[in-house]
Amino acid sequence: MSKGNFEGVLVPVLTPFNSDFSPDPVRFVEQCQWLLAEGANGLAVFGTTSEANSLSLRQREELLDRLVESGIPAAKLMPGTGACALDDAVRMTSKAVNLGCGGVLMHPPFYYKPVVDDGIFAYFSEVIQRVGESTLKIYLYHIPPITMIPFSIYLVGRLIAAYPETVIGLKDSSGDWSNTETLLREYPEFDVFPGSEAFLLQGLRAGARGCITATGNANVAGIRQLVDNWQSDDADAMQARITTVRMAIQAFPLIPALKAMMARIHDAPEWRRVAPPLMPLGEDETRALFAKLAGIDFAMAPHGSVAARSGELNG
């Protein structure tokens, strides 16, 4: 039985930037509200797609406050609170818990390499003990292509055994279905979320709770449709469709491509900005992206057109 608060499709929300690369809180709140209206079950703010490691601790705290003050239910928020500095991780995690967030997503401290499982275990033990709140729910963020520091199957089991009411889930962004499958088999009461909708249906059939996916920023209605109908006769066709959309987008640098799509969806060129060292999609790449999307008949709904893409995906 799940101990967590999340299921379905969670979106790692893109962060809009001003011209000085400070986050734009107004657009950020609007994006989160729009995604929930389009069908997101939850929002994994301050993840990789959010360019969270290009944001200061203060900026993330302020944005989280703005979301809750705007009326977005804190229970629907799974903010990323991992950091290389233990004190930063404790501070951000405590902030999320005190605001009532449904859980936190934590990558391992990734700067020093190599590190052993004992070191990662010690880090998470310190965070849990220093936060000191029984309401803390941690979802491990396994993304070795970026961090180069994995959560081994053994380490996951060790953390579950030591903190069964706190370490309750994992986002698997390894891109390796066999790793996801092993986690689901070995820890059946652990809430596992594949990091791509390409694995959504087979994940749900194997016991996953849903997915946490970057391309939910652009296709949350289509992904939600599968979440709601994964036991139907049409589920495989729905999976094929959302996978096609995913592959079309990730053929380009993912964050710049998604931001180019947001610029068109929201009719706001400012959305194209990414924080250095990332760079916006070039003009040729942007044309190629939209040509590819047009070639698969993926029409993006305008801002405010709730769940419009769901019907278009069935057309």
Domains contained in the chain, CATH given = 8-231 (3.20.20.70)
**What rounded mean pLDDT belongs to the chain?**
94
Tens-place pLDDT, residues 129-167:
999 999 999 999 999 999 999 999 999 999 999 999 999
Per-residue pLDDT of 202-252, as tens digits, reads 999 999 999 999 999 999 999 999 999 999 999 999 999 999 999 999 999
Supply 211's token pair. 């997915």
Residue for token pair 């950020």 = 28
pTM over 0.85: yes
Residue (of 228, 234, 229, 248) closest to 298 by Cα position: 248
Q: What is the signed CA dihedral for 82, 88, 91, 92, rounded to 10 degrees?
A: -40
d(CA 116, CA 11): 31
